[in-house]
Amino acid sequence: MAKAALALSFLLLISGCAHDRHTETSDVTDSSTSAEQSAPHHQMTDQWVGRWTGVEGLFLEISKDASAGPGHYLLHMRYGLDADQIGTFEGQSTADGIRFNRGDGPQLLRAGDGEATGMKWLLEKEDCLIVRTGEGYCRD
C-alpha cells in the first residue's frame, strides 16, 4: 500500500511539474506572438481611416472604434443600390485586412488597386480597398 501511495505521489509530482513548465512556456509564447502579430496589422489598417468612393454612389467610411481599442474599426458603407444595402459594421484588423460581418455574411476588406476591384470605372485607380470582385472603394 505504501508503495502504491508513493508511486501515485511521484506521478502527481511529475505531472504537476510538466504542467507548470508547459504553462509558463505557453504563456510567454502566446503573449509575445499575439503582440508581435497585432501591432503591424493595426498600423497598416489605421492608414485606411477616412472616406473611400465606389461606383454609382457607393461609399465606405472607416473610423477607429476607440471604445473597442486599437485595431478595431467602424465601417459605414453603402455597398449596393438596394435601400437595405447600407449600414455600419464593426471590423477588426487582421494580417489580411479588416474582417467584419454584415447581412450577406463574413467579409474581408483588403488593399488592392482598381484592376483588383473588377470594375472598369475604377481600373485606373491605384489606392483601393476591395471586399470582393465587383465591390471596391478607391481614393483619388
What is the radius of gyration, based on Cα positions, of the chain? 24
pLDDT of residue 42: 81
pLDDT of residue 140: 80
Cell triple for residue 117? 476591384
- pTM for the full predicted model: 0.71
Strands 127-132 and 135-139: antiparallel
Number of other CB atoms surrounding residue 89 within 10 Å:
17
CA gap 80, 82 in Å, rounded: 6
Structure confidence by residue, pLDDT tens digits, 20-69: 333 333 233 333 334 434 455 788 999 999 999 999 999 999 999 999 99
